[in-house]
């Protein structure tokens, strides 16, 4: 297997210039001129490598290497081209680069595969411009609905549909059949955490993507004078929040890994030095790889919140606005990738993903597997996002081995 370091450096070099911020970082949001330029640049690169290219209705870009024996069985690999605002140049983008370089290498080395290989540059995953996530992959599997985006706008007031049309794309026709040709989806991604780096591992084979439950919670007490209201008479929502936070975090630590719990946003009102805060809005994010554990734990937290508020005479509103189930990766593909790691003596470990990825959209519908490469200091969604070049090359290497097994062998991991 070749050393991919130079090709990764060259490919990332020209692609990372599109949407680059002069002060550092990258911003490439769905349907912006930078997004269009990146997709067109990738289209040209795919075609130069001898791949047949096409856009679907919403802007997902494909580069295909036709299979010689089973052309209607597609091994799909890639990730998303959009970024967060002022993000790094690896999240999403590297998965596309890796799939492109791996397929290019396989074509040059072995010729046509038995099954069709396809690199996909998904239109959107992050939700950074519009309040909607996984627009690209949801359109492929058919869970995206026009009514979900017709009325949403970005921070500048630009309507989603208007932005889509200005970029040259439209909704998927309702009478267009969904794709039935995808035999497997394989995604390579940076970890966005520090487990692999801390443990000195080069490859993470992802067993599952965590489920998430997210809440908006509002506490209603009584705003009052900070000097004249005795402590025993107060309905202080910040104090109530502090009790909720401390008890919940202690309970999460006692529960142990892989459960994580985060209070990411806290807004007290009136938020001034001399008034007892009579209102506090906060968010809660809880994640776990096991659905039953996630449900049990969050229900306990909800009960604790109700109890604390009742004790303090404070009204509470709890809005569970996200309830995503954990998504396991395909067992046969996991066995295939781990075997390939061992046979090629790659330094790997099994790992779960604490972040969401396009793989979680594909996995309930087609056999799916995901791999990680290390993130330095676990930093992501940040201009400082970085992975050592040799580690990126090892990621492309295991991806190429996997795609070869799936597309060039008769058994194809028994797809």
Q: For residue 16, give Cα distances in angstroms to 59, 126, 380.
A: 19, 17, 15
Residue 240's pLDDT is: 98
189 labelled as ligand-binding?
A: yes
Contact at 8 Å (CB) between 340 and 405?
yes
Is residue 52, in this structure, part of any structural domain at all?
Answer: yes
Distance, in Å, from the CA atom of 189 to the CA atom of 98, rounded to the nearest integer, reads 9
Residue 31, token pair as written in the block:
């349907």
Residue 379's pLDDT is: 94
Contact at 8 Å (CB) between 202 and 267?
no
pTM of the model: 0.89
Domain tally for the chain? Answer: 2
Residue 412's pLDDT is: 81
366 and 275, same structural domain? no
145 and 41, same structural domain? yes
User: Which residue, 179, 219, 243, 190, is CA-closest to 392?
Assistant: 190
User: Which residue, 28, 81, 84, is CA-closest to 55?
Assistant: 81
Contact at 8 Å (CB) between 397 and 340?
no
153 and 14, same structural domain? yes
Is residue 240, in this structure, part of any structural domain at all?
Answer: yes
Residue 57, token pair as written in the block:
């209705």
Percent of the chain scored above 70 by pLDDT? 99
Distance, in Å, from the CA atom of 38 to the CA atom of 61, rounded to the nearest integer, reads 11
285 labelled as ligand-binding?
A: no
CATH of the domain at 97: 3.40.630.10
280 and 347, same structural domain? no
pLDDT tens sequence across 210-253: 999 999 999 999 999 999 999 999 999 999 999 999 999 999 99
Q: Which residue has the tokens 């490859």?
A: 203
247 and 130, same structural domain? no
Measured in degrees and rounded to the nearest 5, phi and psi for residue 195 equal: -65, -50
Distance, in Å, from the CA atom of 61 to the CA atom of 47, rounded to the nearest integer, reads 12
351 and 299, same structural domain? no
235 and 143, same structural domain? no
Mean pLDDT of 341-356: 96
Residue 353's pLDDT is: 96
82 labelled as ligand-binding?
A: no
Distance, in Å, from the CA atom of 81 to the CA atom of 240, rounded to the nearest integer, reads 42
Distance, in Å, from the CA atom of 69 to the CA atom of 89, rounded to the nearest integer, reads 37
Distance, in Å, from the CA atom of 174 to the CA atom of 160, rounded to the nearest integer, reads 18
From 322, 357, 386, give the residue that closes a domain.
322
Q: Residue 10 — pLDDT band, cuts 50, 70, 90?
A: very high
Q: Nearest 5°: CA angle at 270, between 264 and 273?
A: 95
> Residue 84: pLDDT above 90?
yes
Residue 29, token pair as written in the block:
């949001």
216 and 204, same structural domain? no
The three-class DSSP label of residue 158 is coil
281 and 226, same structural domain? yes
281 labelled as ligand-binding?
A: no
Residue 2's pLDDT is: 77
Residue 341's pLDDT is: 97
For residue 372, what are the β-bridge partners? 189, 204
pLDDT tens sequence across 285-336: 999 999 999 999 999 999 999 999 999 999 999 999 899 899 999 999 999 9
Distance, in Å, from the CA atom of 359 to the CA atom of 328, rounded to the nearest integer, reads 10
Q: Residue 413 — pLDDT band, cuts 50, 70, 90?
A: low
The three-class DSSP label of residue 112 is coil
302 labelled as ligand-binding?
A: no
80 labelled as ligand-binding?
A: yes
CATH of the domain at 223: 3.30.70.360
Which domain does 271 fall in, by range? 210-322
197 and 275, same structural domain? no
Distance, in Å, from the CA atom of 267 to the CA atom of 269, rounded to the nearest integer, reads 7
Q: Residue 24 — pLDDT band, cuts 50, 70, 90?
A: confident
Q: For residue 181, give Cα distances in angstroms to 72, 259, 366.
A: 5, 36, 10
């Amino acid at each position: 297997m070749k050393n991919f370091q130079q090709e990764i450096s060259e490919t990332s070099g020209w692609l990372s210039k599109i949407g680059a911020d002069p002060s550092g970082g990258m911003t490439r949001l769905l349907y912006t001129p930078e997004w269009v330029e990146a997709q067109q640049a990738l289209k040209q690169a795919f075609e130069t490598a001898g791949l047949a290219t096409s856009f679907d209705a919403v802007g997902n870009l494909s580069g295909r290497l036709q299979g010689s024996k089973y052309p209607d069985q597609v091994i799909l690999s890639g990730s998303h081209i959009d970024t967060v605002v002022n993000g790094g140049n690896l999240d999403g983008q590297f998965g596309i680069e890796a799939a492109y370089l791996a397929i290019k290498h396989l074509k040059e080395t072995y010729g046509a595969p038995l099954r069709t290989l396809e690199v996909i540059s998904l239109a959107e995953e992050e939700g950074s411009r519009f309040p909607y996530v996984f627009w690209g992959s949801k359109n492929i599997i058919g869970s995206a609905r026009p009514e979900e985006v017709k009325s949403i706008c970005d921070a500048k007031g630009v309507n989603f549909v208007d932005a889509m049309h200005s970029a040259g794309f439209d909704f998927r026709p309702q009478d267009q059949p969904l794709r039935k040709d995808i035999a497997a989806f394989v995604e390579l991604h940076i970890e966005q955490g520090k487990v692999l780096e801390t443990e000195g591992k080069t490859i993470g084979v992802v067993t599952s993507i965590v489920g998430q439950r997210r809440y908006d919670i509002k506490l209603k007490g009584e705003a009052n004078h900070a000097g004249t209201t005795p402590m025993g008479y107060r309905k202080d929502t910040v104090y109530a929040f502090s009790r909720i936070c401390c008890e919940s975090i202690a309970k999460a630590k006692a529960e142990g890994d892989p459960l994580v719990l985060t209070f990411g946003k806290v807004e007290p009102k009136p938020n001034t030095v001399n008034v007892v805060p009579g209102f506090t809005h906060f968010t809660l994010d809880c994640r776990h790889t096991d659905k039953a554990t996630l449900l049990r734990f969050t229900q306990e937290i909800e009960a604790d919140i109700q109890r604390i508020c009742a004790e303090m005479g404070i009204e509470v509103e709890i809005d569970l606005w996200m309830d995503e189930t954990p998504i396991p990766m395909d067992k046969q593909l996991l066995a295939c990738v781990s075997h390939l790691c061992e046979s090629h003596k790659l330094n790997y470990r099994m790992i779960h993903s604490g972040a969401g990825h396009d793989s979680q959209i594909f996995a309930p519908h087609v056999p799916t597997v995901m791999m990680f490469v290390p993130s330095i200091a676990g930093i992501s969604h940040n201009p400082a996002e970085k992975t050592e070049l040799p580690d990126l090359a090892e990621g492309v290497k295991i991806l190429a081995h996997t795609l070869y097994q799936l597309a060039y062998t008769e058994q194809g991991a028994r797809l």
